[in-house]
Chain A
């Protein structure tokens, strides 16, 4: 049973990690909690569903369009809500509230447009998964694990090696200095939102494959994503990946000896422990929370 619980933990952890990576990239650049990140998770899932159900698109195509749409929505949120607030020098608490508001608005729009019943990306018969060291894992779940790892590596490469990535990191370090050396900071912030939101989009589609599409799916995703990002160290991509895996593992293996009703409580307990004893997260980043 322990192998099965570990596998369950890794799978759950990978989806948390994807959300956390997007969240952490955006946080690193603009330094506030982009809570509406969760809404983007749900929007991507609904977009994919709508393209498949209404236009009969094959899954891969619908998925790619939805990921791009998710990225685009992130950019729009930044352009029309966050940027005006930033230009007014609003404190990050105001940005957080605006973000929270957008989360609720988007979630309600989804509910209004699509109804609150569950939509399925993956229909048909349930087939038994593959056996792996005594645990069972389905093909969808293998996809989840593979995409998370590949995307983590790709995001890291993008941030470290490409010009855009470097400008994101420069703006993250010091916005004023970055613009002094000729980096267009607004464009860079847009890029960070696109990248982060596209990652959330991938997470949304993978979560939807695993457990279907419903309006409130973004809330759980973003909360676990934020916990994972905090545990990993805000702004750190490898941290987000490890943080996600750690809480996925903790909440699934942690209920081995106790009632499974405690699952969510375990992730929060891990978060509190980190905040108390290692506030910078696994990868002790210098983006500490008191700057929020």
Chain B
């Protein structure tokens, strides 16, 4: 009986404490403006999420040291999505209902961004993704924005390069089985077939797979002239396993390939892979890029990657819109459409009428274990 009483008391105290925490105003003074960020900080996409967070933090620091937003300090509340749409949705709900944010930066993964999009529209909260490139985002609603190009551009650019520049006729697709892989794979396929080529095989793998030998064997059996490889860091294993299986084919890939971890996993099997990427590169001599790289290296003692760059840009673009239009969701939405010629580290960025960024990708390759522009 006594034990039961103690149990009841504990439950009451814990519930009360939780209620106080939930009902309390977000722990900020009136002088603060709080926005949210949804990022995959753990799981398969963790490396991208961490880089993105570093980029956003850097932008935040610069914005606040140069007067904030009309004198108010900007804060970002980070939520981990684990790269999982379900987790992303509940994290977004939390940001909107508990923290009352007018805008959220993220997610990086298209699957997560797309799951969150309907709620963003309903709650009139701006969702600005630094890296979700699914073509479906174009139509995802009035409050959904991004500052990276849609896969439509990347898939088309690569398909044209494969058929027109390399003169390839037979290409296979080896893709991750998610929104990203399906989206960009179909854009590539459509353009490549229109150019007169044939997709000789299309194989997919699960997001958490680590053994790809069977997929590789099936693709290799069709003797493709090149393989369009879509995925995240598991592309490193795929290249290693393909090379162990003795497959010597040109691999083509996308912006997600630009991850040092892939080079580590693949070793020299990554050499010669051609991929489409953003103009951003730490060794780009451009002044805006160099200013960003210097600041980033000073803050984190490491070189920024494309996700850090795009996320930095996303935060800056959001700030421009808030300074220009105001800090409510609808005001930010209006002002984002007016963003033109923003000198971003990922290139000059404009937001079009669908909320998409206008930025054309370039082609890069791996040479002696380094990411370099394709000459």
Contacts and interface: CB of A to CB of B under 8 A. Distances in A.
Contacts of B221: 1
A260 B218 contact: yes
Nearest to A219: B208
A4 B213 contact: yes
A8 B269 CA distance: 20
Given A8-B213, A117-B261, A138-B244, A126 B269 contact: yes
A126 B244 contact: yes
B214 A252 contact: yes
Interface in A212-262: 212, 216-217, 220, 252, 255-256, 259-261
A114 to B, nearest CB: 12
Nearest to B40: A116
A210 B213 CA distance: 11
A211 interface: yes
A257 to B, nearest CB: 10
B237 A212 contact: yes
B267 A118 contact: no
A174 interface: no
Nearest to B236: A118
B256 interface: no
A4 B206 contact: no
Interface in A122-168: 123-129, 131, 136, 138
Nearest to A117: B47
A120 interface: yes
A30 interface: no
Contacts of A263: 205-206, 209, 214
Nearest to A207: B210
Contacts of A260: 203-205, 214-215, 218
A138 B243 CA distance: 11
A173 interface: no
A255 B210 contact: no
B218 A255 contact: yes
B157 interface: no
Contacts, number: 98
B294 interface: no
A128 B246 contact: yes
Report, as a range, how many residues of chain A touch the other chain.
35 or more
A8 B211 contact: yes
A216 B208 contact: yes
Contacts of A138: 244
Contact of A126 (B46, B209, B218, B240): B240
B214 A117 contact: no
Contacts of B239: 126
Contacts of A118: 233, 236, 261, 265
Contacts of B236: 118
A259 B210 CA distance: 17
B268 A125 contact: yes
Nearest to B217: A4
A151 B233 CA distance: 33
Contacts of A129: 244-246
B267 A123 contact: yes
Given A212-B237, A220-B208, A136 B244 contact: yes
A112 B205 CA distance: 28
A118 B217 CA distance: 24
B202 to A, nearest CB: 8
Interface in A250-291: 252, 255-256, 259-261, 263-264
Contacts of A126: 239-241, 243-244, 266-269
Contacts of A128: 243-246
Interface string A95-135: 00000000000000001000111101001111111010000
B274 to A, nearest CB: 19
A40 interface: no
B264 interface: yes
B43 A5 contact: no
A12 interface: yes
A255 B267 CA distance: 29
A243 B374 CA distance: 49
Contacts of A123: 264, 267
B203 A259 contact: yes
A212 B264 CA distance: 11
Interface of B: 42-43, 46-47, 177, 202-206, 208-211, 213-215, 217-218, 220-221, 233, 236-237, 239-241, 243-246, 261, 264-269
Given A115-B46, A252-B213, 6 more contacts: A120-B264, A126-B266, A128-B243, A255-B214, A259-B204, A263-B205
20 contacts: A1-B220, A4-B213, A4-B245, A8-B213, A8-B217, A111-B42, A116-B47, A117-B47, A118-B261, A123-B264, A126-B241, A126-B266, A128-B245, A129-B244, A210-B211, A211-B237, A212-B210, A220-B210, A260-B203, A261-B203
Top 10 nearest A-B pairs (CB, nearest first) are: A211-B210, A116-B46, A126-B243, A261-B204, A126-B240, A8-B213, A4-B217, A1-B221, A260-B215, A126-B269
